[in-house]
Each structure stands twice: as structure tokens, then as C-alpha cells.
Structure 1
Amino acid sequence: MKLALYVTKLTAVRVLAALVVLLSVLQLLDLLDVTNDILDRGLGAGGLIWYATLRLPRMIDQAMPLAVLAGCLFAFAQLGRESAAVAMRAAGISVYRIAGMALPVAMGAFIIQLAATEVIGPRTDAMLRTWWRDTAPAADRKGPETRSFRVGPDLVTATIGDDLGRRLEKVIIYRRDQGGAVTERLQAPEAVYGPTGWTLISPSFERFTDDSAQPGSATRMAWANPLEPGDVQVLFATDNNGSASSARRALMGGGSERPESYYAVRWNRAFAAPAGAFVMLILAAPLVAANFRSGQGATIMTASLMSGLAFMVLDGLITALGESGVVWPWLGAWTAPMMFAALGTSVLLTLEG
């Protein structure tokens, strides 16, 4: 029990140290782009700190996998240099068990990255957008942009009317049949979300048949659709990172402006991306079985580091292919994690066997 606690603590401290260093570098590079804008707005050092705080969840998402890899490599290298790994193996403790002692660290990294990406990140992104817009000079402020998106089979063009996503302006709705042909066009200066759903204010419409168009108008008209205010906020966000829940809502017809494959991959990536912490642990695990006296440790450490970097590059590439629909969504999200987890496991089995 004490031995497992020692390895876990050793790994956790080094992963945390690597995460702090990586976050510092990423924050510094990010601040270099916005420092002049923040200072020109008269926000001072407080503005810089607040900006960095709101950007932190997204930085954690970027830095966590590499921090786990670096921290595990440093921890396992220390065990090897001090011959602690050799002593543990001589006592009958397998390499798999030694590497497994760092599993709680990978689990903690998984939970932190998942929370930062899916729970905290969407909220801080919204806060950052609002703060950045409200502190902009009056001359630089821009009105809301018009967006086009899908709601079920309908095509919609509109402008967001408030920050809560409960009001749309300059609404144009194109309703289509199962074959994709436009059957009706509705226009309304405003659409409001209430307890019963969306209501079009002073709409006018044209219903199309094979040989004619029938115009009409109304004072109010119910607009039945699964679109919710939260979907509107995501659709009109400038960064539009969204979350797994918003991707799931888009797949259910709650409003989308990208291919269905993008949202399917985004849903899978909510769990596949944080799972990269376990992949990095597996890639670092062969270092436990290395012979540092013969120089094997340096070779395996370099190979593990290069494998981790290759995993991050290939993971991003295959994810992009999945989002564009070139490969199946679950393949786009999970191929790289499964491939490199198998690679690390095979190397570990070879060294141990």
C-alpha cells in the first residue's frame, strides 16, 4: 500500500509540475496576442488576469495529455535511475503492476480534462465573449451577425436578439419536404421563445405548389421545432466550441450549421479526448522495464515521447477526417487512442516477456 502510494504521489507531482509549465507557456503565448487590446481598453493587470482565468479551461484541454506523458516519463525515469523499479521487480512486482500504480493519476487527469472541456469551458467561453464585447470601444463594437442553420428539415436565417437566446430577429424560414424541395417560406421581424415554444411575430409566408405561390400573413404564428435558447447561444457563438450536450442536441434536430458527422464526432470526442491521459500512461509504461545502465532508458524515453507527439498529431488528423465525413464518426474519434494504446501495450509486453 505504501509502495503504491509512493509511485502515485511521485507521478502526480511530476504531472502537476508539467501541467503548470505547459499552461504557463500557452497562457504566455495567448496573452501576447491580446495584451495590447486589453491595455488599450484600460483594463490593466486585472483585465489580463481575468482573461487568463477565463481561458484556463481550454488551455487545460490542450495541455493535459502532454503533461501526463511528460510527468509519467519523468516519474518512471526516476524509478529507473534509482534502481527502484529493479528492486520492485526483484520483489515479484510486475511491470504492469508498477505502471498501474500511476493509474489514479491518469484517472484524475481524465476527470479534470472532462470537467474543463464539457462543464466549465462552455460557461467560461460565454463569460469571455460577453466581457470582451462589453469592454470593446464603442467604435469597434459590431452588431450581431446573421447566421444560417438547420432546424430539423427546415433552413433558417436569423440574427440573435439577446444574450439568452430567447429572441431571434430578421427570421426567414424555408420549409422543405422529404425530397428537399422548398414548400414554404416564412418571414418575420421577430421570433420569441416562451413557455409553449417559439412564436413568430407578424409573420408573412408563401406556400409553394407545382404551379403557384400562395401568400399570406398573420399577427402571430406558432413555430413548432426542437430549438432551445441554449442551442441559439451555441449557434451564434463566435468560437462555437460547444459541448457534448450541444452536439447531442444538434443530432436530435436542435439546430446545426455543420454536417451531422461533425456533431457525431464531437459527441464521441467528449470522452475520447480525455481518454488520451490513459493512452499517454500506456506509452510511458515501457520505461519501467528499461535498463538504464545499458542506455536503454534514454532510447525508450525518446521513443515514448515521439510516440506521444505522433499520437496527438494523428489524433487531430483522423478527428478532422471524421468531422468532414470521410470516415465514420466513431472511427474519427477513437482510432488514434485505440491504435496507440495497442502500440504501447505491445511494446510493454515485448519488453516484459
Structure 2
Amino acid sequence: MKLRIYVLRTVLLRILAAGAVLLAVLQILDLLDVTTDILERGLGVAGVAYHATLRLPRLVEQVAPLSVLAGGLFAFAQLAREQAVTAMRAAGVSSYRLLEMAVPAALVIVLLHFTAAELVAPRTDAVLEAWWQASEPGTPVDPSPRAFRSGAEIVVAKPGASSGERLNDVRIYRRDAQGRVSERIEAASATYADGVWRLHDPRMLRFTPDQALASSAVELAWRSRLQPADVRSLLSPAQAPSAASARRALEGGGSERPDSYYAVRVQRAFAAPIGVLVMLLLAAPVALGNFRTREGAVLTVAALAAGLSFLVADGLLTALGESAALSPLLAAWTAPAVFAALAGTALLRMEG
């Protein structure tokens, strides 16, 4: 038990330290771009701190894999230099057991990554964008209309509220089974309440083979899978859809990109955290290196190069999947599977 706690503490502390350093660097670089604008808007130091806090979840998402790679390299290199691994192997503790003792440290980062990317960041992104728009000096600029799909319907609208519960200048084009426009609905606004969108002062124009039939109403219920969270993501240039929003897009909710993009986004919600564990596996062979010779340094450089190559390959395959050049499963899971197999093979050969 003491050995397990020692290994876990060594790995976890170095992962957290590496994450803190990487997070500080990214935060500084991010603030360099916006601090001048924040101060010019009269928001002061409090505004800078508020911006940094709201940006934190996205930065955590970015640094999580690299923090595990760097922290794992530092931890395993220390254990190897101190001959702790040699003593463990002499006592019958294999490298696989050593890796198993370190996995809980990576699982902490996996949980943190998933929470930040899928639960916290979609909310803080919306708050940050609303705060940034509200603090913009001068007369607010009327937003441009955006077009997106909601099931078989084409929707053109302007954002009406930062919460995503209101749309302005709404136009809905309904299509038949052949894709031809069968009805056009125009409304001054639409509001979301009790799970239903309500169109205010709608004007309908229904097309038949012979004529166009016009009608109007005071209010009309528009039943759609579109939700306020989807509106925030669709009508914002900065926000990325969460896995829940991507799944709703595939089921007929709001979407403005190909289905392949949302299918890959759903898979990435689970594959990206698994990539954190792959980083730990790539760093594990360093523990078996001999740091009295060049072997330790070579293994460290090779593990670092493998980790960076994994990030590049993962990003490239994801882009191919989003453009429908690869299936979503292959795009999201090929890189984690291949690099995990390579790291496992290296560890197996060194152990043998």
C-alpha cells in the first residue's frame, strides 16, 4: 500500500505541476491578446480576472494531454534515476504493475478534462460572449442573420438573447420529401418556453402545385428539437458544440455543418479523454531506461516525440472525419488505438 501511494503521489504531483505551468503559459498568451481591450473598455483588473476565469475551462481542455505526458515523463524519469524502479523489479513488481499504480493519477485528469470540455466550458463560453458583447463601447451592432438546419427545415434568424431563448427576424422554410420548399413562415421573433418555440406574429405562405396560399396568426407553436443551448452554439462564432448538442443535431436539432462533423464530435467527447491515458502509456517506457547511459535521455526524447506525434495525428484524423473523408469511428479512435498499441509493444519488449 505504501508503494502504491508513493508512486501515485509522485506521478500525480508532477502531472499537476506540469499542468499548472502549461496552464499559466496559455493563460498569459491568451491575456496578452485581450488585456488592452479589457482596460480600454474600463473593466479594470477585475475584468481581466473575470475573463481569465471564464477562459479557464477551455484552457484546461487544451493542456490536459500535454500535462500528463510531461508529468509522466518527469515522474518516471525520477523513479528511474533514483533506482526506485530497479528496487521494485527486484522485489517482483513488474513495469505493468508500476503503470497500474500510476493510472489513477491520469484518471483524475481524464475526469477533469471531460468535465471542463463537456459540462463547464459550454456554459462559460456563453457567459463570456454575452459579457464581452455587453461591454463593447458604442452602439450595439445589429447581428447578421444566420442560416442553419433544424431537421428537414431551413431556418434563417438573428440571435435575440445571449441565453439562446429568443430569435429575431425568423424565417422557416419547410420542405417536402423531394426537398422542395412547401411552406415559408416569417415571424418577427420566436421565444422558447416549456419546451416549445413560439412564433410571434407569424405569416405563412404555403405552396401547392397550382398556387401559393397566404395566412397569418397572432402566435404559432413551432415544435422543433432545437434548444437554447443549440442556438447559443449555432449563432456564436466562438463557441464549439458540446457532445450533447452534436447528438441533438444528428437527431434533427439545429445544425449548420455536415452530419459528419457532429458524428465525429460525439465520438471525440469520449476519445479525447482516453487520449490522456495514451499519453501516460507513451511515457511509461522511460521508467525502464538506464539514466547512467544515453538510454534514459533517448527514451525521454522518443516518448516526447511520440506524444507530440499523437496529437498531430489525432488532429489530422479528426479533420478528415469532420470532412467525411473518414468514418467517425476511425477518425476519433484510430490515433488512440494505434499509439496505445505502439506504446504497449515498446513496454512489452523492454519488460521482456
Q: TM-score, normalised by structure 2?
A: 0.96
Moved more, 71-80 or 183-192: 183-192
Residue 313 of structure 1 aligns with which residue? 312
- Give 1:227 shift: 1.7
Instruction: Quote how far apart the aligned CAs of 1:211 are.
Output: 4.1
Secondary structure, aligned partner of 2:76: helix
Which residue matches 2:189? 190
User: 2 CA distance for matches of 1:30 and 1:311?
Assistant: 25
Q: Counterpart of 2:152? A: 153
Structure 1 segments of 4+ aligned residues over 4 angstroms from their partners? none
Residue identity opposite 1:207 in structure 2: R
Identify the residue that residue 36 of structure 1 maps to in structure 2. 36
Aligned length: 352
Would the alpha carbon gap of residues 214 and 15 (structure 1) be closer, same or farther in structure 2, given more than 3 Å must change?
same
* 8 A contact 1:99–1:288 mirrored in 2: no
- Deviations, residues 10-41 of structure 1 (Å, cap 9, x unaligned): 11111111111101110111111111101111
| Percent of paired sites with the same residue | 54
> Which amino acid is 2:35 matched to?
T
Q: Deviations over 1:52-83 (max 9, x none)?
A: 11111111111110110010111110111111
2:16 is matched with 16
Q: Secondary structure at the match of 1:215?
A: strand
Find the counterpart in structure 1 of residue 67 from structure 2: 67
* Aligned positions of 1:34-183 closer than 5 A: 34-139=34-139, 141-183=140-182
The root-mean-square deviation of aligned C-alpha atoms, in Å, is: 1.4
**Partner in structure 2 of residue 5 of structure 1:** 5
- The answer for unaligned runs of 5 or more in structure 2 is none
Query: 1:320-339, aligned counterparts within 5 Å?
Result: 320-339=319-338
Equivalent residue, structure 2, for 1:274: 273
Question: What is the CA distance between 1:144 and its match in structure 2?
Answer: 2.8
CA distance in 2, matches of 1:16, 1:6: 15
- Residue 203 of structure 1 and its aligned partner are, at CA, apart by 1.9
Q: Kindly indicate whether the alpha-carbon contact (under 8 Å) linking 1:69 and 1:280 is maintained by their aligned counterparts in 2.
A: yes
- For residue 310 of structure 2, what is the amino acid of its counterpart? F
Q: Which amino acid in the other structure matches residue 256 of structure 1?
A: S
- Name the aligned partner's letter for residue 81 of structure 2: R
Contact 2:281 2:340 in 1 (8 A): yes
3-state SS of 1:242 partner:
coil
Q: Which moved more, 1:50-59 or 1:290-299?
A: 290-299
Distance 1:322 1:334 in 2: 11
Preserved contact between residue 147 and residue 155 of structure 2 (Cα < 8 Å): yes
Q: Helix, strand or coil: the match of 1:173?
A: strand
What is the letter of the counterpart of residue 88 of structure 2?
Answer: M
- Alpha-carbon distance between aligned partners in 2 of 1:199 and 1:76, rounded to the nearest angstrom: 59
Gaps of 5+ in 1: none
CA distance in 2, matches of 1:334, 1:259: 20
Relative to structure 2, which stretch is displaced further, 224-233 or 181-190? 224-233
Deviation at 1:192, TM superposition (A): 2.6
| TM-score, normalised relative to structure 1 | 0.96
Moved more, 225-234 or 26-35: 225-234
